[in-house]
Chains A and B, each alone.
Chain A
Amino acid sequence: AQSVTQPDIHITVSEGASLELRCNYSYGATPYLFWYVQSPGQGLQLLLKYFSGDTLVQGIKGFEAEFKRSQSSFNLRKPSVHWSDAAEYFCAVARRGAGNMLTFGGGTRLMVKP
């Protein structure tokens, strides 16, 4: 069965600093991968997704992620963090042939210092 691991439960960065959130997956075939963000009091919003092709994908709000098959990773990056990026971030993998279902990682809570 597929699984997703986000090794960092909490991360704190200074505003303007770069950000990398880690995601590792376990899946037997080429995965469909996603990053979602949950701002306080909000539902989840899709940041970006990877299905195939170019391994560097661009998303909304200036985020990007890189798929590395050799490392089973799909890390999320942003070159300069804004205070409004403080939120919880979830990595997810789609379950193939299973009606659009997702398996989520445990989440990483990002705090931004002024």
Chain B
Amino acid sequence: DVKVTQSSRYLVKRTGEKVFLECVQDMDHENMFWYRQDPGLGLRLIYFSYDVKMKEKGDIPEGYSVSREKKERFSLILESASTNQTSMYLCASSFARASGRVYNEQFFGPGTRLTVL
């Protein structure tokens, strides 16, 4: 069974704090993703990593950074948390697209609900 775990289910932080959200997958997936989920907006991609130390900006990277030092772990960093970053954060992982395959399923973690006061 694929497992994607996130370090916290609920997190409360203060404005200006540095926040780390951790994600770990156990399926040796090359790709890892961070999404933000808000009511009515669905999931929006923040950052994507296709290999260790490699990253690409998604649709809403402003105010966020990421780190991938090991293949199984992908961290989302809020350098200085703000109230408009209060949201649900979802991590996902997948195999890279291999020759002959059109797409590889993304597997999601349970999410971290972050509140910034």
Interface string of A86-103 (1 = CB under 8 A from B): 000010101000011110
| A9 and B31 contacting across the interface, CB-CB below 8 Å | no
Residues of B within 8 A of A51 (CB): 102-103
User: How many B residues are at the interface, by size bracket?
Assistant: 20 to 34
Which one of A11-19, A57-65, A70-78, A104-112 is at the interface? A104-112
Q: Using a Cβ–Cβ cut-off of 8 Å, how many residues does chain A contribute to the interface with B? A: 25
Which of B35-43, B68-76, B78-86 sits within the interface? B35-43
Q: List 28 A-B contacts (CB under 8 A).
A: A4-B42, A6-B42, A32-B103, A36-B108, A42-B110, A43-B4, A43-B107, A43-B108, A43-B110, A43-B111, A51-B102, A51-B103, A90-B42, A92-B43, A99-B56, A99-B96, A99-B97, A100-B94, A100-B96, A100-B104, A101-B33, A101-B45, A102-B43, A102-B106, A106-B41, A107-B39, A107-B40, A107-B42
Interface residues of B (CB under 8 A from A): 4, 31, 33, 35, 39-45, 48, 50, 56, 58, 90, 92, 94, 96-97, 102-111
